[in-house]
Structure 1
Amino acid sequence: MLSKTPLGAPIWADANTPDLARDLDFYMRLFKWSSFGTGEEFGDYTELCLGSTVSVARAVGGLAPNPPGNPDAVSAWGVAFHVADCFRAAADAEKLGAQIISHPVRVGDDLVYAALKDPDGGAFGLFEPMSERVGFMAHGEPGSAVWFEYVYDGAPVEAMQFYSELLNWSVKTPEDDEPSHDAPYVGLWTHGHLTGGSVEFGGARMAIGPEVRMKPHWLVCFGTDSVDLTAAKAVDLGGRVAVAPVDDPGGRMAVLVSPTGAHFTIMSSKPMD
């Protein structure tokens, strides 16, 4: 297997942006990330990394300038899941009720990618790595993705049926002795980890408060040593706080919004096994 990421698990996260320079400044100062552009050949796609030089940089995500046909689109983070065959997975997804936004396309010699919407309208990607150089090089630590959460105005177990069939997930409701959640919630597990076990990588929950007015969506959760300090820093950098820091069963968390409108979560690091 080219990637250490289990099949079916999140392998990449990136955001579109109407203002690449503004977003780069925000995220690099917020998380102390460095950036490496790919140039005009790949639409000025920019990789975000922990580490300041190419030799030590470890990728945590990416930023893609909005396409010329939709330059003012509001920024949003998206998640792509690891598949062995992107063409087959996209065809299977369509049979299960998904809408293909962009058919599988080969990106250089590194990967095959397709963009879709699930049957409830939530956007996601399918990502087939063809190189060991792609996908998350850092995760489960401050400054990297530590958790992924689907937010849906309805029963989360129903919304996750599509993903469980497509990506071989297990969808588990909390045990009676586990801490309670503010809204109906299920944990998401994928199989085929290199150690032979399964790994919990995220969850799905019913939308609460202002989220009810939003379309179903995936939230990328980035780790931080201090949720409160990072939230305050985001405001200083031109972002805002959508959900103030609060203690959650998985740790302390907050939902932030970038200067260009992308929602994302910060939380006390919850390692992916």
Structure 2
Amino acid sequence: MAATMPDGAPAWADSVTTDFESDLAFYTGLFGWTPVAFGPEVEYYVDFHAGARAIGGLVGASPAFLPGVPSRWTVYFRTPDCAAAVARATVLGARVVMPASPVGDDLVYALLEDPAGAHFGLFEIRSGTAGLQASGDPGAPSWFTYAATDLDAPLAFYRRLLDWSAKDGLTAAGAAAPFGAAHRTERAPGWTVYYEVESVDATASRATGLGGSLTEAPFDSDRHRLAVLTAPSGARFGVAAPIRA
């Protein structure tokens, strides 16, 4: 279905990679995505399309762009004013990695770390073509999770910054259903984006044959069957399929 993104909801997801060609082949082989060059504004960036709709991106790290950043996925949350949201986030305890930066006339984005150290993005949409164009369909994002050792402080941060509810899942203000969930972990804190597939188990098996690895074996949650995979470069992401009664 077409993506609808109220303010505070996930608006985009992309992966920085230290091995652009290997990850490009991996994701297109795993999901059947079509890579579409973004344009001259951003070198070594492609949008991924599922069918004709944009559902994520891949950017190559380089000494000139994001030097020293490891391969990882970033989830971006919609805001009506990226610069103002960055300023508010710093007051609330975030660290700015990249300040509000325009990309042509389409969008403004920023990269930050929350008070627990998890990286995330802010995303101001200025044209109707920017951001996620599908959700909940095969190949499109369908679920987002946040994990940290202590959830109280980071969830309070996001509630104040983005006006979420964290009761019965993570829900943007005005949304009818949650976009994700939070859980405790002993790993480093962070966000995971899950892309919908027909079969989690089959996709996890196929990923290993394409050069990826299985980080968390398939398991059932309240809403989905899930697995966490790692791309050849080391970037972690998930796959999901709804549990149907």
Whether the TM-score (by the shorter chain) exceeds 0.5 is yes
RMSD over equivalenced CA pairs, Å: 1.6
**Distance in 2 separating the partners of 1:80 and 1:120:** 17
Provide TM-score, normalisation by structure 1: 0.84
Highest CA radius of gyration, 1 or 2?
A: 1
With normalisation by structure 2, the TM-score equals 0.93
1:72 to partner: Cα distance: 6.6
1:245 to 2:241 alignment: no
CA–CA separation in structure 1 for the residues paired with 2:4 and 2:199: 28
Paired residue secondary structure (1:81):
strand
Alpha carbons 1:191, 1:199 under 8 Å: kept: no
Which of 87, 90, 95 is residue 91 of structure 2 equivalent to? 95
Q: Deviations over 1:104-124 (max 9, x none)?
A: 111100001111110111101
User: Could you say which residue in structure 1 is the equivalent of 2:127?
Assistant: 131
Three-state SS of the structure 2 residue aligned to 1:84 is coil
Match of 1:58 in 2: 53
| CA offset digits 1:65-120 (Å, max 9, x no partner) | 10225667431000000000111111000000101111111110000111111011
Residue 24 of structure 2 corresponds to which residue in structure 1?
Answer: 24
> Identity of paired residues, percent?
43
Name the aligned partner's letter for residue 159 of structure 2: S
2:8 is aligned with what amino acid? G
Q: For residues 239 and 80 of structure 2, what CA distance do their matches in structure 1 show? A: 30
**1:43 Cα deviation (Å)?**
1.7
Task: State the match for 2:143 in structure 1.
Answer: 147
Matches within 5 A, 1:85-124: 85-124=81-120
1:116-195 paired onto structure 2 within 5 Å? 116-154=112-150, 156-172=151-167, 174=168, 187-193=169-175
- Residue 185 of structure 2 corresponds to residue 203 of structure 1: no
| Distance verdict in 2 for CA 1:261–1:128, change over 3 Å | same
Number of equivalenced pairs: 240
Unaligned runs of 5+ in 1: 52-56, 175-186
Residue number in structure 1 paired with 2:78: 82
| Partners of 1:100 and 1:115 within 8 A in 2 | yes
Instruction: Find the partner of 2:204 among 225, 228, 231.
Output: 231
Supply the distance in 1 between the matched residues of 2:179 and 2:152 (Cα, whole angstroms). 16
Cα separation, 1, equivalents of 2:109 and 2:242:
28
Q: Could you tell me how far apart the structure 2 residues matched to 1:79 and 1:107 are?
A: 17
1-structure distance, mates of 2:156, 2:214: 31
In structure 2, what is the Cα distance between the partners aligned to 1:111 and 1:67? 22
Verify the 8 A CA contact 1:146 1:269 in the aligned structure 2.
no
Alpha-carbon distance between aligned partners in 1 of 2:130 and 2:137, rounded to the nearest angstrom:
18
Q: 1: CA distance between counterparts of 2:193 and 2:183? A: 14
Return the letter of the residue paired with 1:244.
A
Q: What amino acid sits opposite 1:89 in the alignment?
A: A
Q: In structure 1, what is the Cα distance between the partners aligned to 2:226 and 2:207?
A: 14
Long gaps (5+) in structure 2:
none
Tell me the alpha carbon deviations over residues 146-188 of structure 1, each in whole angstroms, 9 at most, x when there is no partner.
010001112x24321000000000111x5xxxxxxxxxxxx11
The amino acid of 2:177's aligned partner reads V
